[in-house]
């Protein structure tokens, strides 16, 4: 695609989208080029590249081998928790993916079937995703930190023929057996997958059920390599569940064609990467960042990607990031702010950078939560490359707003603290007030995207199109609701100030307070509760439970808190960081009995708020303040 200035690209994408995205589509290899660039799918949803035939795994691997790059490195597995560093060339990776794809066929997985992947950050996880893509099966990766009931919910929704897993994950020095969680999830789920394949790890081999379970190594060895099958551009590549405002996660559907085109475009235009570069996204394959920028984006572009099974700190120290960048000659690094806050806490002067040559690094990209100005300023002080905040969501699969480093005039717009830059081509971004009126500079409101959305954005929610329409398109017809609040300044820079709904962001992990409330409310001492996110210096936000006890319950606040903490860990996972529960006599409600969550959120966060005119009893707000004061004093 021709390199344009940012303004040229942005304008072209909105004024002549068909021509713009046709040009982007010509940059990937199709088995059959699409017969249309944009079409209506019959449900009123704009879909991209109708009639195009391609294969995403083939784009990510085979085409680089065919271009003579088979001996170049595609995947670098770096695992400080096991002491292993292993490199896979494109040729080696394609051979394993083709064999696993064949082995999937042997256990009855075919085009369109779903496969749940519940795995730690090991090469088999990447191979699993690409093997599914190779045969047109739809993967649904579930973050390894989720507890059994969350995995069960996703199994019931995706209805997989097979689950691919591993015997354990490793968190710092702790070995976490996966198999008991997986067995429990399958027991809880109504839907029973026919087969479970387990990659055995020496740290904690799992016991296999001879009727249902297979050992990955022998299963893969018996598989016969198969070629990539052509799929339609509109065929789903994956489902990725994300938290919404209710307890039930939403299955975001990603199609093959739009996704491949958008990611390929983003790798050049946003990240300024070319084939042969080394790209490292320090996320987890269970999140969208892992899907887009550990697996598909870099490989489609022909870059080497780093799969890091470690943490920014304590594996073994706060110099881990610098060590990985230097050792693997990383050119572009992408991470969540919380990771650098953890590093800053332990090594405020970045002394552990000493001895690591990080001159290979060209850009540092940040996303997952707001890059708070103090962390931004600290990063600018300790690294000598552009620090770029960019904003996106599971639903889009790539950045909505960024400073684009691969446009012709990348230096024309300096970064500003607290801002993820300007909207990326394809996204017609607006700020609306509660009544749908467009707001001007410096006015904060709901951040929305005027339809149609660009390639890669979700066309539906898995098996629930009504929910797609309701969650994203009903609030302001014709506009996609991002769920984030923010404003633009006089120079058009965007500022994302946080969620305006019941979603919270804990250490870059997206969680629904509704889901947490369901768990807390399930405790037999709890009459009712509200869970809200409160600002936290390390994690961005952490959940806080406000709990009303049933009459006659005899539990100390500490005992109740400990039980609730354990309950959330068992039902959702430790990564939810639910550690605080405060007893209150009542919850603030409207006269019609609705809990005033938005008001509670602002109150506990110390933000300014107006007491709603609909409140039944304003004294309930003072009761919360008193309870929080008492909790802090303890
Ligand atoms: N499997 C099992 N448990 C997990 C887990 C996983 N994959 N990930 C986290 N946990 C557990 C942790 O071990 C910890 O357990 P503990 O309470 O028993 O100690 C708990 O969940 C809290 O985890 P977290 O808040 O993530 O803290 P941490 O100290 O483990 O890690 C960071 C801190 C900054 C490294 C980590 O939060 C991080 O990398 N966040 C970025 C997330 C991200 O990439 N998001 C995508 C957008 S870019
Ligand atoms: P997820 O779908 O898990 O990627 O989470 C998406 C949400 O994370 C967004 O809706 C935002 O609330 C938040 N988020 C992601 N990136 C940023 C960013 N750069 N700045 C502010 N918030 C962000």
CB of 292 shorter than 6 A to ligand 2: no
Question: Ligand 1 centre and the CA of 510: distance in Å?
Answer: 12
Question: Ligand 1 centre and the CA of 575: distance in Å?
Answer: 5
- pLDDT at residue number 554: 85
Are β-strands 387-389 and 363-366 bridged in parallel, bridged antiparallel, or unpaired? parallel
d(CA 633, CA 376): 32
Pocket probe for ligand 1: among 121, 281, 397, 507, the residue whose CB has the most ligand atoms within 8 Å is 507
**Residue whose pair of structure tokens reads 């404003």 in the numeric block:** 487
Q: Whose CA is nearest to atom 6 of ligand 1?
A: 145
- pLDDT at residue number 298: 98
CB of 394 shorter than 6 A to ligand 2: yes
Pocket probe for ligand 1: among 172, 337, 389, 574, the residue whose CB has the most ligand atoms within 8 Å is 574
Question: Ligand 2 centre and the CA of 369: distance in Å?
Answer: 5
Q: Whose CA is nearest to atom 15 of ligand 1?
A: 574
CB of 289 shorter than 6 A to ligand 1: yes
Domains in the chain: ranges and CATH: 6-90+234-472 (3.40.50.12780), 503-629 (3.30.300.30)
Q: Whose CA is nearest to atom 14 of ligand 2?
A: 369
List average pLDDT for each run of 10 residues in the chain, which is 634 residues long.
Answer: 96 98 98 97 94 98 98 98 98 98 98 98 98 98 97 97 98 96 98 98 97 98 98 98 85 98 98 98 97 98 98 97 98 97 97 98 96 95 96 98 97 94 98 97 97 98 96 97 97 94 92 93 96 93 96 91 97 97 95 91 88 94 91 60
Q: Whose CA is nearest to atom 32 of ligand 1?
A: 339
Q: Give every strand in the sheet of 114-118, ordered side by side.
A: 213-215, 195-199, 162-166, 114-118, 138-141, 236-242, 250-255
d(CA 563, CA 576): 15
Ligand 1 atom nearest to CA at 312: 35
> pTM of the predicted model, to two decimals?
0.96
CB of 337 shorter than 6 A to ligand 1: no
- pLDDT at residue number 575: 96
Ligand 1 atom nearest to CA at 506: 25
d(CA 343, CA 80): 16
CB of 353 shorter than 6 A to ligand 1: no
86 contacts: CB under 8 Å, gap ≥ 6 = 76, 77, 123
- pLDDT at residue number 632: 63
- pLDDT at residue number 605: 85
d(CA 488, CA 493): 5
- pLDDT at residue number 633: 52
d(CA 339, CA 369): 11
d(CA 545, CA 582): 6
DSSP conformation letters of 151-163: HHHHHHHH--SEE
Q: Whose CA is nearest to atom 13 of ligand 2?
A: 369
User: What's the token pair of residue 4?
Assistant: 């344009």
């Amino acid at each position: 695609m021709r390199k344009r200035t940012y303004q040229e690209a942005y304008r072209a994408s909105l004024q002549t989208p068909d021509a713009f995205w046709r040009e982007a589509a010509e940059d990937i290899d199709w088995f059959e080029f699409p017969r249309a660039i944009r079409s209506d799918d019959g449900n009123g949803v704009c879909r991209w590249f109708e009639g195009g035939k391609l294969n995403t795994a083939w784009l990510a691997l085979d085409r680089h081998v065919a271009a003579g790059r088979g001996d170049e490195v595609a995947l670098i597995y770096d695992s400080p928790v096991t002491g292993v560093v292993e490199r896979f060339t494109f040729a080696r990776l394609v051979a394993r993916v083709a064999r696993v794809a064949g082995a999937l066929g042997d256990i009855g997985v075919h085009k369109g079937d779903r496969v749940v992947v519940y795995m730690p950050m090991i090469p088999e996880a990447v191979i699993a995703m690409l093997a599914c893509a190779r045969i047109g099966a739809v993967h649904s990766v579930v973050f390894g930190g989720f507890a059994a009931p969350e995995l069960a919910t996703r199994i019931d929704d995706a209805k997989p023929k097979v689950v691919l897993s591993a015997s354990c994950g490793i968190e710092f020095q702790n070995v976490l057996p996966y198999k008991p969680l997986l067995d429990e999830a399958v027991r809880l789920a109504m839907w029973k997958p026919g087969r479970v394949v387990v990659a055995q790890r020496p740290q904690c081999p799992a016991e296999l059920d001879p009727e249902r379970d297979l050992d990955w190594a022998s299963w893969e060895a018996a598989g016969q390599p198969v070629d990539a099958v052509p799929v339609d551009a509109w065929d789903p590549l994956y489902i990725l569940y994300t938290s919404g405002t209710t307890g039930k996660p939403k299955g975001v559907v990603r199609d093959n064609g739009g996704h491949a085109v958008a990611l390929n475009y983003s790798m050049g235009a946003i990240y300024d990467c070319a084939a042969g570069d080394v790209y490292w996204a320090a996320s987890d394959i269970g999140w969208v960042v892992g899907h887009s920028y550990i697996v598909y984006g870099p490989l489609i572009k022909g870059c080497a990607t780093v799969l890091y099974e470690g943490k920014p700190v304590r594996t073994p120290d706060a110099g881990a990031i610098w060590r990985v960048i230097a050792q693997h000659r990383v050119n572009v690094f992408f991470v969540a702010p919380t990771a650098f806050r953890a590093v800053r806490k332990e090594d405020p002067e970045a002394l552990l950078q000493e001895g690591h040559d990080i001159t290979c690094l060209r850009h540092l990209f940040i996303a997952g939560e707001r890059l708070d100005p103090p962390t931004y300023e600290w990063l600018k002080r300790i690294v000598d490359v552009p620090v770029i905040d960019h904003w996106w969501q599971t639903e889009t699969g790539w950045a909505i707003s960024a400073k684009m480093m691969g446009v012709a005039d990348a230096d024309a717009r300096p970064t500003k603290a607290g801002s993820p830059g300007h909207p990326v081509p394809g996204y017609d971004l607006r700020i609306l007030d509660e009544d749908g009126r467009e707001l001007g500079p410096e006015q904060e409101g709901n951040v929305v995207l005027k339809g149609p959305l660009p390639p890669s954005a979700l066309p539906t929610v898995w098996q629930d199109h009504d929910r797609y329409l309701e969650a994203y398109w009903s609030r302001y017809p014709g506009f996609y609701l991002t769920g984030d609040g923010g404003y633009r300044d006089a120079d058009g820079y965007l500022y994302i100030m946080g969620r305006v709904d019941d979603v919270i962001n804990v250490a870059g992990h997206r969680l629904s307070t509704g889901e947490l409330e369901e768990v807390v409310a399930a405790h037999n001492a709890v009459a009712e509760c509200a869970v809200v996110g409160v600002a936290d210096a390390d994690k961005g936000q952490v959940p806080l439970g406000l709990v009303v006890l049933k009459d006659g319950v005899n539990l100390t606040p500490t005992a109740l808190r400990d039980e609730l903490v354990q309950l959330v860990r068992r039902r959702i996972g430790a990564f939810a960081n639910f550690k605080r529960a405060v007893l209150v006599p009542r919850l603030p409600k409207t006269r019609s009995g609705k809990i005033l969550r938005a008001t509670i959120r602002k109150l506990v966060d110390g933000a300014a708020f107006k007491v709603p005119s609909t409140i039944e009893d304003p004294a309930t707000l003072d009761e919360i303040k008193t309870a929080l004061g008492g909790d802090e004093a303890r």
